[in-house]
């Protein structure tokens, strides 16, 4: 169903494979257990059972039709009609189904839209958007990945009108869609369209111009959503991370991208080793990309950062105790002083040399 069929038709890598059936979830559970497979009731209210097979999970969902929606949640009824189930999908390219024999069922012109590079709603766009407000952001995510054609004027108008309702969405859902959009191979046309329709200002008022994204693209930066968010957003990124409810790890990385040492293009090996002793190469490379360090010098800088081994200070508290130092704060202070000496020397001193320096300081 849906995405797996869409990507298979485009000869793209298929991720999750979702299955559908006219059977109710109770019958699906019984069939799985008879086959010796574990069945998890992950979404019985919406007809979904997850099957575990050979270390993988497969969602199996009963065919459904919408009874009522409120813009965030839908009340569904089970059906035996594949077309009725397809009719509740968001976009025509997601309303495709494939039998195990290889027959594709396309009730709404999804294959033609795939070929033509069109992201088109199933049915009236305004109705689809009112059923689930997240579809406004989903449209731009799919536009970034699949579109080659300008949306129809009516669709543009409905998307613009839907922007005022995006405040109903939780921050977590907004960030989930923005993150996937920013991970697209080329998100800038979709972001430009969002800005034009007022949607970008509604969900990401911190967004500045795309100049930072343009620099990243020119430098061949990876499709990293946090790196792109840092390039796009203005102001204090910590406040943005809090508003969008990023995970702790995401918020920490975003802050590290904004604050910290940016390696210079003419830095020597000793300077780079000092930086690498305190921060990972990936972060230093990302900062150099955000700073727009380009040309041959920028390329050499990033190549050196990527290939230089990360220096590790070779001493621990045990080494200090072995020299006869008493446990306590003095041990940490002494190790810190030797580490500063080690850094000043470009992190070149080995364990023996560092031990000798520690002993000299302790005994001298």
HSE-up of residue 296 (Cα within 13 Å, Cβ side):
0
255 and 269 Cβ atoms separated by less than 8 Å: no
132: how many CB neighbours lie within 10 A of its CB?
19
* Tens digits of residue pLDDT in 154-210: 999 999 999 999 988 999 999 999 999 999 999 999 999 999 999 999 999 999 999
Check: CB of residue 100 under 8 Å from CB of residue 94.
no
pLDDT per position as a tens digit, 288-339: 999 999 999 999 999 999 999 999 999 999 999 999 999 999 999 999 999 9
Distance CA 337, CA 324 (A): 17
- Give residue limits of the domains in the chain: 269-307, 317-363
Distance separating alpha carbons of residues 173 and 356, to the nearest angstrom? 56
Phi, psi at 84, each rounded to 5°: -65, -40
Measured distance CA(237)–CA(53) in Å, rounded? 42
Residue 194 neighbours by CB under 8 Å, 6+ apart: 140, 200, 203
Grouping H, G, I as helix, E, B as strand and the rest as coil, residue 187 is coil
> How much is the mean pLDDT over the chain?
93
Buried residues in 214-228 as b, exposed as e (16+ CB within 10 A): ebbbebebeebbbbb
pLDDT value of position 44: 80
Provide the residue-wise pLDDT of the chain in tens; the chain has 364 residues. Answer: 678 899 989 888 887 788 999 999 999 999 999 999 999 988 887 889 999 988 889 999 999 887 666 556 667 788 999 999 999 899 999 999 999 898 999 999 999 999 999 999 999 999 999 999 999 999 999 999 999 999 999 999 999 999 999 988 999 999 999 999 999 999 999 999 999 999 999 999 999 999 999 999 999 999 999 999 999 999 899 999 999 999 999 999 999 999 989 999 999 999 999 999 999 999 999 999 999 999 999 999 999 999 999 999 999 999 999 999 999 999 999 999 999 999 999 999 999 999 999 999 888 6
CB 190 within 8 A of CB 141: yes
């Amino acid at each position: 169903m849906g995405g797996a069929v869409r990507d298979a038709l485009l000869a793209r890598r298929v991720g999750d494979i979702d299955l559908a059936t006219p059977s109710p979830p109770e019958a699906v559970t019984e069939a799985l257990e008879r086959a010796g497979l574990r069945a998890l009731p992950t979404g019985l209210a919406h007809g979904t059972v997850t099957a575990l097979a050979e270390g993988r999970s497969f969602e199996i969902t009963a065919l459904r039709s919408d009874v009522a929606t409120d813009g965030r949640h839908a009340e569904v009824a089970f059906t035996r009609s594949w077309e009725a189930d397809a009719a509740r999908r968001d976009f025509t390219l997601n309303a495709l189904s494939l039998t195990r024999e290889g027959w594709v069922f396309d009730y709404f012109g999804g294959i033609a839209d795939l070929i033509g590079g069109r992201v088109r709603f199933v049915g009236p766009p305004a109705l689809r958007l009112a059923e689930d407000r997240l579809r406004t952001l989903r449209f731009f995510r799919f536009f970034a990945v699949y579109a080659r054609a300008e949306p129809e004027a009516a669709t543009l108008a409905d998307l613009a009108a839907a922007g005022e309702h995006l405040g109903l969405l939780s921050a977590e859902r907004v960030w989930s869609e923005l993150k996937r959009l920013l991970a697209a191979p080329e998100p800038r046309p979709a972001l430009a369209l969002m800005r034009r329709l007022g949607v970008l200002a509604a969900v990401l008022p911190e967004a500045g111009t795309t100049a930072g994204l343009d620099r990243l693209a020119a430098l061949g930066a990876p499709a990293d959503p946090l790196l792109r968010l840092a390039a796009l957003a203005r102001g204090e990124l910590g406040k943005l991370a809090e508003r969008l409810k990023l995970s702790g790890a995401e918020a920490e990385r975003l802050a590290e991208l904004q604050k910290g040492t940016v390696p210079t293009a003419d830095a020597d090996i000793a300077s780079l080793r000092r930086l690498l002793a305190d921060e990972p190469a990936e972060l230093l490379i990302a900062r150099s990309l955000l700073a727009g360090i380009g040309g041959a010098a920028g390329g050499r800088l990033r190549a050196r950062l990527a290939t230089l081994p990360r220096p590790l200070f070779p001493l621990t508290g045990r080494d200090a105790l072995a020299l006869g130092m008493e446990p306590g704060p003095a041990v940490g202070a002494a190790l810190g002083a030797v580490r500063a000496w080690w850094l000043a020397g470009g992190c070149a001193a080995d364990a023996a040399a560092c031990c000798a320096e520690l002993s000299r300081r302790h005994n001298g």
